[in-house]
């Protein structure tokens, strides 16, 4: 029997605004213009602008079918073969941290879930400690920290004058943070700017963190996908590990294996002893249990199968290099189109200096709105475009849209 109520208890629930990133795709789908272009969500597309399932993923899934693997629950910490593989990919199999058992690894729900688990750990065991995040950063970083009650502030990162790294400002803000703060760093292919510190700058950042007693928290979402090299893209994390830092590292396989919907990633904590690693892992599991109980198995088996088979592993590296190479080609073509069309002498070389799937154009919100309203180019309002959603054939069109928006819209 239905219960009649005069006023719903949910009347005070307001409509949430569209997600600033995922909402872009919803708007794109509703647009019927033939010239429309979706450069909002960071998902790889082929030259035909179609989603791409890696061939090596299909082969790994075929192996799972042939073995008749079941769908039983995983342990709270996830698939053991995956956890071993992901830690070794991050640090290198021969790394002393691995050999000495100084790392606590727990499978998480891709990068977001792994970051959330790390943030929950900070909230519980380091109450009141502030996390510094780059300005700008991936939008969900703020949501994750705020939702678990971890205080955060920003450090300078992007210099709008040079469309490059504000290294001086970054160091000043890290130096000015309370001793023992947590500094959230992007391991490679900074999102949204595509601007990474040089190896020398990474050393200086490590020096400053060490002097202030800060703890690094790396977000590694693009290992192998940024440069095409798993080792090069992990060099920042390995540098800090070699210097003996205690640190968190979140990983995701959405981009480098194209496992967007499988929600496969990990949270790692690097510690000075195996005993501490065991204790920290036990508490990460304790946090995960009421949050999602245990992680999904399908993506974890794909990663474990690919990394655990030398033939599949080599094929994966080749496919990563292909994807990274296509994005580099599009980046070069866009730069050349802008250079040929813009006769003002403006320096567009920042596009080539950025790395990974994104380019931070420097366009304002109103200019970004013009990109969408007039040119049907869908992008985030901070001026970020995903080059993974662009093809060579559309570079001239995009260059026209950028030039029009930059010069004709305040």
HEC readout, 175-201: HHCCCCCEEEEECCCCCCCCCCCCHHH
State yes or no: is 255 an active-site residue: yes
Catalytic residue selected from 138, 152, 316, 348: 138
Set 166, 173, 196, 219: catalytic member: 219
Query: Strand (E) positions, 166-282?
Result: 182-186, 215-220, 247-252, 264-270
Three-state secondary-structure class, residue 105: strand
Active site residue 138: yes
In this structure, what DSSP letter does residue 128 have?
A: T
- Options 152, 255, 281, 375, the catalytic residue: 255
Residue 219 designated active-site: yes
| C-alpha torsion angle, residues 218, 82, 102, 109 (rounded to 10) | 40
Long-range CB pairs of 202-208 (<8 Å, 24+ gap) are: 202/235, 202/236, 202/239, 203/239, 204/167, 204/171, 205/170, 205/171, 205/174, 206/239, 206/240, 206/243, 206/245, 208/171, 208/174, 208/175
Classify residue 281 as exposed, middle or buried by CB count within 10 Å of its CB (0-12, 13-18, 19+). Answer: buried
CA distance 231 to 188: 11
Active site residues: 138, 219, 255
């Amino acid at each position: 029997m239905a219960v009649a109520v005069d006023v719903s208890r949910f009347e005070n629930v307001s409509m949430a605004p569209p997600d600033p990133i995922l909402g872009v795709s919803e708007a794109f789908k509703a647009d019927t213009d033939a010239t429309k272009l979706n450069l909002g969500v960071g998902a790889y597309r082929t030259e035909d602008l179609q989603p791409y399932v890696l061939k090596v993923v299909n082969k790994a899934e075929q192996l799972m079918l042939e073995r008749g693997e079941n769908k039983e629950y995983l342990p709270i910490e996830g698939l053991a073969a995956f956890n071993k593989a992901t830690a070794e990919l991050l640090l290198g199999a021969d790394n002393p941290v691995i050999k000495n058992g100084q790392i606590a690894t727990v499978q998480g729900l891709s990068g977001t879930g792994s970051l959330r688990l790390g943030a929950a750990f900070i909230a519980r065991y380091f109450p009141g400690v502030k996390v510094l995040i780059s300005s700008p950063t991936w939008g969900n970083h703020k949501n994750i920290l705020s939702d678990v009650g971890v205080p955060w502030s920003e450090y300078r990162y992007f210099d709008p004058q040079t469309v490059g790294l504000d290294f001086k400002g970054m160091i000043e803000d890290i130096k000015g943070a309370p001793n023992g703060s947590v500094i959230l760093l992007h391991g490679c292919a900074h999102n949204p700017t595509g601007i990474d510190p040089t190896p020398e700058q990474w050393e200086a950042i490590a020096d400053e963190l060490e002097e202030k007693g800060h703890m690094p928290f790396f977000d590694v979402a693009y290992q192998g996908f940024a440069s095409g090299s798993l080792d090069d893209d992990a060099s920042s994390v390995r540098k800090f590990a070699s210097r003996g830092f205690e640190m968190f590292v979140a990983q995701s396989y959405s981009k480098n294996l194209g496992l967007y919907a499988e929600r496969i990633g990990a949270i790692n904590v690097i510690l000075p002893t195996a005993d501490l690693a065991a204790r920290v892992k036990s508490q990460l599991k304790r946090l995960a249990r009421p949050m999602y109980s245990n992680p999904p198995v399908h993506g974890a088996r794909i990663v474990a199968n690919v990394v655990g088979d030398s033939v599949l592993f080599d094929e994966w590296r080749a496919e990563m290099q292909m994807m990274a190479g296509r994005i580099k080609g599009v980046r070069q073509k866009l730069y050349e189109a802008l250079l040929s069309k813009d006769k003002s002498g403006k320096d567009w070389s920042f596009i080539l200096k950025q790395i990974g799937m994104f380019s931070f154009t420097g366009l304002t919100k109103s200019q970004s709105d013009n990109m969408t309203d007039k040119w049907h180019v869908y992008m985030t309002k901070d001026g970020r475009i995903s080059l993974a959603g662009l093809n060579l054939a559309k570079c001239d069109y995009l260059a026209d849209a950028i030039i029009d928006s930059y010069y004709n819209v305040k």
